[in-house]
Amino acid sequence: MSEDLFMLRGEGDPLSNLRESFSIPEGLVYLNGNSLGPLQNKVKQRLKEVIDLEWGEDLITSWNKHGWMDLPEKVGEKIAPIIGASKGQVVCCDSISINLFKLLASAMQLRPSRTKILSQLDNFPTDLYVATGLELILGKSRCTLELRSPKDLVAAMNEEVAVLMLSHVNFRDGSVHDVADLTRIAHEKDILVLWDLAHSAGVLSITLDEWDVDFAVGCGYKYLNGGPGAPSFLYVNRRLHDQFLQPLVGWMGHEKPFQFEQEFVPARGIRQFVAGTPHILSLMALDSALEIFQDLDIGSLQEKASILSEQFLKLVLAEPDLDEFKLVSPTHPSKRGAQLSFSHPYAYPISRAWMEEGVIADFRAPNILRVGFSPMILSNRDIGLAVKKLIEVVQSRSFMEEKFQEKQNVT
* Concatenated DSSP letters of 51-120: IIIIITTSGGGHHHHT-GGGHHHHHHHHHGGGGT--TTSEEE-S-HHHHHHHHHHHHHHH-TT--EEEEE
Other C-beta atoms lying within 10 Å of the C-beta of residue 3: 8
- Indicate the helix (H) or strand (E) that contains 44: helix 41-49
- Indicate the helix (H) or strand (E) that contains 276: none
Other C-beta atoms lying within 10 Å of the C-beta of residue 219: 25
Distance CA 316, CA 384 (A): 10
Query: Per-10-residue mean pLDDT for the chain, 411 residues long?
Result: 40 86 96 98 98 98 97 98 98 98 97 98 97 96 97 98 98 98 98 98 98 98 98 98 93 96 95 96 98 96 97 97 98 97 98 98 96 97 97 97 92 85
Alpha helices in 111-175 (DSSP H): 125-138, 153-156
Residues 268, 97, 224, CA angle at the centre, nearest 5°? Answer: 85
Distance CA 290, CA 220 (A): 9
- Indicate the helix (H) or strand (E) that contains 355: helix 347-356
Distance CA 283, CA 379 (A): 29
Strands 116-120, 144-148: pairing is parallel
Cis peptide before 375 (omega within 30 of 0): no
Contact yes or no for 353/398 (Cβ under 8 A): yes
Average confidence score pLDDT of the chain? 95
Which pTM was predicted? Answer: 0.95
- Cβ-defined contacts of 125-129 (< 8 Å, 24+): 126/96, 126/97, 126/100, 127/96, 127/100, 127/165, 127/167, 127/196, 129/97
Distance CA 95, CA 120 (A): 21
Active site residues: 124, 196, 221-222, 370
Distance CA 87, CA 35 (A): 28
Digit-coded pLDDT (tens) for 136-160: 999 999 999 999 999 999 999 999 9
What is the reported pLDDT for 5?
36
Interacting residues of 100 by C-beta distance below 8 A, sequence separation 6+: 126, 127, 130, 131, 165, 194, 196, 217
Distance CA 64, CA 381 (A): 47
Helix, strand or coil for residue 243? coil
Distance CA 74, CA 72 (A): 6
Other C-beta atoms lying within 10 Å of the C-beta of residue 86: 12
Burial (Cβ within 10 Å: 0-12, 13-18, ≥19) of residue 64 = exposed
Delineate the domains of the chain, giving CATH numbers in brackets.
3-30+297-404 (3.90.1150.10), 48-293 (3.40.640.10)
Q: Tell me the β-bridge partners of 322.
A: none
What is the reported pLDDT for 242?
86
Other C-beta atoms lying within 10 Å of the C-beta of residue 241: 14
Q: What share of the chain is helix, strand, coil (3-state, %, to 5)?
A: 45, 15, 40
What is the reported pLDDT for 11?
55
Digit-coded pLDDT (tens) for 213-265: 999 999 999 999 999 999 999 999 999 998 999 999 999 999 999 999 999 99
- Indicate the helix (H) or strand (E) that contains 288: helix 280-289
> End-to-end distance of the chain based on CA atoms, in angstroms?
31
